[in-house]
Amino acid sequence: MAHYLVTGAAGFIAARTTEMLLAAGHTVLGVDNLNAAYDVRVKNWRLDLLRKRPGFSFLEASVADPAILRLPRLRDRRFDAVLNLAARAGVRSSVEYPWMYVETNITGTLNMLELCREHGIPKLVLASTSSLYGANNPAPYSEDQDTSHPLSPYAASKKGAEALAHTYHALHGVDVSVVRYFTVYGPAGRPDMSVFRFVQRIREGEPILVYGDGSMSRDFTFVDDIARGTIAALRPLGFEIMNLGSDHPFQVNELIREIERHLGREADIQYAPAHPADVPATWANVEKAAQLLGWRPEVPFDEGIRRCVEWYEAERHWAKEIGVY
């Protein structure tokens, strides 16, 4: 049994990762400030499930607040690793509110690295993003490609977090695994992302908004695969950056057709100009994660979308009221 600190525990990826850690018999202290980046009812739904699991405890706090380092529940407890999954996510929102992204993604990461340094916690797993690859790298994206030209404050903040993590590895010997996530989806997903938004609005007979002509492609990766990869990255590696993706991009138009098929309903599509902060495509080369972690994605796209639709139908009595944008 190991003892883990998971930040952003009420978030989409962190909640599923925490579930898997608890199912394996470990203990988890989850930290989250339950902010209103999207409807907090989704976060509370995930958190309520975690509270029912033995081995889980929760601390409402912000990783971006330096005072978190002085809290007794973190200072006086021995952790085997920190999984820093707390983040301000979302490309378009970061253009409007860049300060929030720097605060959470850079300062928050710095605080967790300091926690590791001060208390001798040997391992930190840092969630990063495929958005770092920008628009000029050839696909599929590999970890050794240039990430110095981010197109959004979100991507720039994650680049800063990765750089800080490397600094703490070089100076203080913190073992760091950086996992770059590619368009994660699944049940109880983020309502600001396309899968939740499209399922809800198509099911409720509302129009969906597509930026561009729908030919934009994404490497949609099911949340269970991402959580497995994140946990696998807890092994000692020194300092490594690894892609976690499905290695199979789909166009937004294909996503819509798959959701229509599982719902048995046709989408009412409205189009808007492509956003300048959006990259036209993402596609993960996952060979490094396969070699270092023994990890490969397992859940096919059609199966993942089916599970999303089933979850929405089961929780529709409240999920239909969640604001999407």
Q: Which helix (H) or strand (E) holds 222?
A: strand 221-222
pLDDT of residue 91: 85
pLDDT of residue 93: 87
pLDDT of residue 30: 98
315 domain residue, yes or no: no
CATH code of the domain covering residue 52: 3.40.50.720
Written as one letter, the residue type at 29 is L
What 3-state class would DSSP assign to 313? helix
155 domain residue, yes or no: yes
Does the active-site annotation cover 38? Answer: no
Contacts of 99 (CB under 8 A, 6+ apart): none
Structure tokens of 3?
């003892």
Mean pLDDT by 10 residues, the chain (325 residues): 98 98 98 95 98 98 96 93 94 90 97 97 98 92 96 95 98 98 97 96 97 94 98 98 97 98 98 85 96 98 98 98 86
The tokens 């979100």 sit on which residue? 154
DSSP 137: S
Written as one letter, the residue type at 39 is D
- Domain span including residue 140: 3-185+221-247+283-297
pLDDT of residue 325: 67
259 domain residue, yes or no: no
275 domain residue, yes or no: no
97 domain residue, yes or no: yes
pTM for this model (two decimals)? 0.96
- State the sign of the Cα–Cα–Cα–Cα dihedral 21, 22, 28, 34: positive
Number of domains in the chain: 1
192 domain residue, yes or no: no
Cα gap 65→110, rounded to integer Å: 10
Cα gap 119→215, rounded to integer Å: 48
277 domain residue, yes or no: no
75 domain residue, yes or no: yes
pLDDT of residue 275: 82
Q: Which residue in 4, 101, 154, 168 is the catalytic one?
A: 154
Largest Cα span, the chain: 56
pLDDT of residue 277: 75
Structure tokens of 262?
């599982």
Structure tokens of 103?
């605060």
Query: CB atoms < 10 A from the CB of 171, how many?
Result: 10
